[in-house]
Structure 1
Amino acid sequence: MKLPTELPPAIFLIGPTASGKTALACEIATRFACDIISVDSAQVFCDMDIGTAKPDAAMQAQFPHRLINLITPEARYSAARFRMDALREMAATTAKGRIPLLVGGTMLYVKALREGLADLPDADSPLRAAVDLEAAARGWPALHAELAQIDPETAARLKPTDAQRIQRAIEIIRLTGQTMSSLFVAQKKSVPPYDFLTLALVPENRSELHRRIAVRFDTMLSQGLVDEVVMLRQKYRLDARLPAMRCVGYRQVWEMLEGELPKGELRDRGIFATRQLAKRQLTWLKSMQDLNVYDPLAADITATVIAAVDNHISQQ
């Protein structure tokens, strides 16, 4: 039996894309004094609404979501900044006598908030530019191979074409003389002062999750995802390397607009990329501890989760 604690409660509701997190979060917020805080690295971007499945105006009016629409698609957002922003919002929520409800699928953000972050150096623009020039001359796979010689652990979890993360790993080595993996091992974990309940949605029927993903992407296309990307390209100074345009769905539309992807393949590529995202999210979940795992496809999922939240809060 869970022992009472003097720490204020906080709830994580995490899971793969299309697992029903938003609807379930709204049910929880309806029944308990919760404020929703987004844990989504794509929803931080302004004007990226359709492809990120951002809550619409009506839902926002009823259930305000914090930490969305923070920056333009031209900018970058980090796990470190998320942690700082989330802790600020959590403190403000707790000060009002309410409960932080953190909802999303960006597992790096979940890990950063629950466990803290390694003490990594700030970005160095001249060094990044130099790495970009090397990549232009040699290709990112060549830099990935170089990274594998120095920091095999980090290289093993990165694709040879993952420009942003390869660049960061090399930047850290050249700035500090230490590898990213060694800095993570040495990190001092800083656990926030909350009594966390972490609810993880893990579908047992993967084929049903894949069906939901297909329906969701079809809905995005019918709502105007392509037009949204066209608007973003006109409104902002964007390129394909920016994190915003590497988001699932946006990347595939960008490639189509650039003539790199046939229009007839957009749907299949977008659905495939979303399925791969869900697979990565589920892999993250398998590595996490202290999770309360539920099947979001179960008929009684809402009642089961509500009971778990009620039990957690009643222990305070």
Structure 2
Amino acid sequence: MGPTASGKTKLAIEIKKYFPIELISVDSALIYRDMNIGTSKPSFNQLLNHPHHLINIKDPSESYSVINFYYDAIDSINKVINKGKIPLLVGGTMLYYKILLNGFSNLPISNRTVRDNIYNYASKFGSKKLYNILSKIDPIYSNKIHSNDLLRIVRALEVFFISGKKVSELYKYNYRFFPYKILQVAIIPDDRNKLHKIIKIRFEKMLADGFENEVRSLFLRGDLNSNLPSMKCVGYRQMWNYITKKISYDEMIYRSICSTRQLAKRQITWLRKWKNLKFIKNNEVDIFKDIIFKFLTHCNRIK
């Protein structure tokens, strides 16, 4: 685990040199095809030499829930184990890890019509108004999420309008649990300012590599819109707003970098509260190797 731009993929690929592992992506943006530059997706050569499960499995027009991830991840893990290898999950989508490890409640399947109506309301009246509605319907759950977290606000209201039940009630009953022994390791940068500089440099490289053209190609398809989860990914949302002339180019850059920093901050907050987690710094390959070796020896996976 680790915040965005902390070097998770690079470290995972390095560790793959020393252990019989296969990589499984835990990233809600890398699932989408044709979204390569803005997601910092591993390069073609990296994926060729170090294949990742659960990358490029969905079109940007398609929805993908945490429940979809749970079943896809379990399937990938089983396939890796059946090969006699060890699954190494790598990514920064903390909610995916949480659902995978702790199980999930029996939430209703998403309804496109209900969801679009909620998003339309948010477009007219703003996400804060939508959050206030959720606070009255489900104050317990609303207190656990940020008032600007539109995705979770919409999902919670969607669940209520479909089922008549609150998300906080449904989350009390978990129906699936993770059946494997696990080692949880997270990269936590020891210098927040350095991470911010890396985020800025990385986004500038995205622009130089053609990020604007990537999003313009998606925009010209004609079947995508700003309400889709794919187009709400950090960077894509801001670039989409620039292409549709809602913000200036400089504003797009500023908002993209700020949003990425905020994402990293939220990820680090998640990790600081995570139980049974071992922390390493970006460059501690040898320490990570030692942690894995001891864990696998304990599990009698290697001698």
Bin of the TM-score, shorter chain as denominator length: over 0.9
1:1-316, aligned counterparts within 5 Å?
Answer: 14-132=1-119, 134-135=121-122, 138-188=125-175, 190-235=176-221, 237-296=223-282, 301-315=284-298, 316=300
Contact 1:73 1:236 in 2 (8 A): no
Question: What is the aligned length?
Answer: 299
Q: Secondary structure at the match of 2:183?
A: strand
Tell me, in whole angstroms, the C-alpha distance in 2 between the residues paired with 1:235 and 1:282: 36
Deviations 1:48-79 (A, max 9, x none): 00011111111111100110101111111111
Q: Using a 3 Å threshold, how does the CA distance of structure 1 residues 253 and 117 change in structure 2: closer, same or farther?
A: same
Contact 1:172 1:179 in 2 (8 A): yes
Gaps of 5+ in 1: 1-13
Q: Secondary structure at the match of 1:94?
A: helix
Q: Secondary structure at the match of 2:182?
A: strand
Contact 2:159 2:165 in 1 (8 A): yes
Q: Using a 3 Å threshold, how does the CA distance of structure 1 residues 216 and 136 change in structure 2: closer, same or farther?
A: closer
Q: Secondary structure at the match of 1:186?
A: coil
The two structures have a TM-score, normalised by structure 2, of: 0.93
Tell me, in whole angstroms, the C-alpha distance in 2 between the residues paired with 1:192 and 1:133: 37
TM superposition shift of 1:258: 1.2
Tell me, in whole angstroms, the C-alpha distance in 1 between the residues paired with 2:159 and 2:170: 10
Contact 1:37 1:67 in 2 (8 A): yes
Q: Secondary structure at the match of 1:195?
A: coil
Contact 1:118 1:184 in 2 (8 A): yes
Gaps of 5+ in 2: none
Q: Using a 3 Å threshold, how does the CA distance of structure 1 residues 49 and 177 change in structure 2: closer, same or farther?
A: same
Match of 1:8 in 2: none
Q: Secondary structure at the match of 2:17?
A: helix
Q: Secondary structure at the match of 2:202?
A: helix
Q: Secondary structure at the match of 2:184?
A: strand
What percent of counterpart residues are identical? 38
Tell me, in whole angstroms, the C-alpha distance in 1 between the residues paired with 2:136 and 2:254: 36
Q: Secondary structure at the match of 1:37?
A: strand
Q: Report the residue type matching 2:35 in the other structure.
A: M
Structure 1 stretch displaced more, 260-269 or 209-218: 260-269
Deviations 1:267-315 (A, max 9, x none): 222111110010111111122211111122x5xx011101111111111
Tell me, in whole angstroms, the C-alpha distance in 1 between the residues paired with 2:155 and 2:74: 25
RMSD in angstroms over aligned alpha carbons?
1.7
